[in-house]
Structure 1
Amino acid sequence: MDKIKSKKKNYISLLIIRSGDIIDYKNISFISRFISEQGKILSRETNNLTIKQQRYITIAIKKARILSLLMFKNKY
């Protein structure tokens, strides 16, 4: 029998949330690391985050976009 290979991709994440990091919409330098070049929010699997951390990151990015601290799309 052939072994069934897992389709899950292995990502090496450099975006680790430490205990001292504050997930807040005002911390633009921190939350901009979780946005792609096109302006999309990166997935949880790409960032290697927990569900709770991804939810807080998404909420912070959306608040920052509404308050015009971050752009919805990249200009280029």
Structure 2
Amino acid sequence: MKTIKILGSGCKNCETTAKLVSQVAEEAGVSIALEKVTDIAAIMGYGVMSTPGVVIDEKVVHTGGVPSLEQIRQWF
């Protein structure tokens, strides 16, 4: 199981990113634990200054916008 965190304030782009990640993980048959992190201090703790950010197993893999489906597929 992969642990995935969506970093952001809960804006539309953050919600879209969470939905896309869930969708692609399900299509790939990968079990995930999805967490939304909205605390600014926690987000900055990952070194993310532009949201949404995506963290997989404690490694930042994306920041600053909604990732493409192709990008997300590469993570799985």
In the superposition, the TM-score normalised over structure 2's length comes to 0.26
Higher Rg of the two aligned structures: 1
More strand, by proportion = 2
In the superposition, the TM-score normalised over structure 1's length comes to 0.26
Greater relative contact order structure (CA < 8 Å, 6+ sep): 2
